[in-house]
């Protein structure tokens, strides 16, 4: 039986770990990030993969940084045949990459060489891509640059956000990994090198990128809102107060001559804003500073009561 060390952290990784166990692989250790404080009360919370490993009664390692840690020696001492990673969140040292006889493979949530880096799902939606996918790749020291073992695409729907795509890609990643591993073990795969001319990157989203630029079209802003939902969440500023935007709808049948960011319509159930290239965006769900998410109707009946047509969002 193939002995595997699994390395992953968020909910995306859990179905993949579960799939390896269900398929009968001998998962001899699980490496994940340390517990972190979460929420306003800063409650120390285990990552989803740790909770799954506890439920499966698997040995757990939680190094703050795997390189030069005591846990690195412990993991190598397990003498795994293969290391499988899925959104682990740290670079792996070369010693670990070379230790297993079958090497190390990664489940990456993009169609490499497009979107190397930590936020491929976010960028695929923000950029308005029609499809994304999963790549099973060999791990080397350079980030997401190893040879491709398998790849499969799925469409991105106009209703998709980061949350729904993570769920879809996690299932796809599990299925593709389980189809790929037997071929890898039997040495029936010819790895394909990535075309360096087609490489693009998807670094983690910065605070500056979260702010909406109303000079973009309504369609582009809709992509930004969905590409940052449920985290980190796009926002706009209204009279020095932050409005997080949870749900918006571009109105392709409508145009305006007002400046981008201008509120052009307000009634009991609707709030519409001018965007770039004369386009118009309807706001559906808003989270004003210090409040929870509100439908635009509830918002306009409460804290948004004083908003007027002609006011400016920045």
Distance CA 5, CA 103 (A): 11
What is the CB neighbour count within 10 angstroms for residue 192? 13
Q: Which residues are annotated as a binding site?
A: 110-113
Q: Are 263 and 312 in contact (CB under 8 A)?
A: yes
List, in sequence order, the alpha helices (H) in the chain.
Answer: 14-22, 48-55, 70-77, 94-98, 120-126, 162-185, 207-210, 218-226, 296-301
What is the CB neighbour count within 10 angstroms for residue 234? 24
Residues facing residue 43 across a β-bridge? 38
Backbone phi and psi for residue 249, each to the nearest 5 degrees, phi listed first: -140, 125
Q: Are 141 and 94 in contact (CB under 8 A)?
A: yes
How far lies 77's CA from each of 73, 81, 100, 207, in Å? 6, 12, 11, 41
Q: Which residues are annotated as a binding site for (6S)-5,6,7,8-tetrahydrofolate?
A: 110-113
Closest CA to 187 of 310, 65, 81, 303: 81
SS3 182: helix
Q: Are 38 and 61 in contact (CB under 8 A)?
A: no
């Amino acid at each position: 039986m193939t002995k595997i060390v699994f390395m992953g952290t968020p909910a995306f990784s859990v179905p993949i770990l579960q799939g390896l166990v269900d398929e009968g692989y001998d998962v001899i250790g699980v490496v994940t990030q340390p517990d972190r404080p979460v929420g306003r009360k800063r409650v120390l919370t285990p990552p989803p993969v740790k909770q799954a490993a506890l439920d499966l009664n698997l040995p757990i390692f939680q190094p703050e940084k795997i390189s030069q840690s005591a846990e690195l020696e412990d993991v190598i001492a397990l003498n795994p045949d293969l290391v499988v990673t899925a959104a682990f969140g740290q670079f792996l040292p070369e010693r670990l990459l070379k230790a297993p006889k079958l090497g190390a493979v990664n489940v990456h949530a993009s169609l490499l060489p497009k979107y190397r880096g930590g936020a491929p799902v976010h960028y695929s939606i923000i950029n308005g891509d029609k499809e994304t996918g999963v790549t099973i790749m060999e791990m080397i020291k350079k980030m997401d640059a190893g040879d491709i073992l398998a790849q499969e695409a799925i469409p991105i729907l106009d209703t998709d956000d980061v949350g729904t795509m993570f769920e879809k890609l996690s299932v796809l990643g599990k299925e593709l990994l389980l189809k790929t591993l037997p071929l890898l073990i039997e040495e029936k795969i010819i790895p394909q090198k990535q075309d360096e001319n087609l490489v693009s990157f998807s670094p983690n989203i910065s605070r500056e990128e979260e702010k909406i630029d109303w000079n973009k079209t309504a369609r582009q802003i809709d992509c930004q809102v969905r590409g940052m939902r449920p985290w980190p969440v796009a926002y706009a500023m209204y009279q020095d107060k932050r409005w997080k935007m949870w749900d918006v709808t571009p109105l392709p049948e409508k145009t305006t001559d007002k400046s981008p960011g201008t509120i052009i319509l307000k009634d009991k159930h609707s709030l519409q804003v001018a965007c770039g290239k004369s386009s118009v965006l309807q706001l559906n769900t808003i989270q004003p500073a210090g409040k929870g998410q509100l439908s635009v109707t509830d918002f306009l009946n409460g804290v948004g009561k004083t908003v007027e047509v002609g006011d400016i969002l920045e």
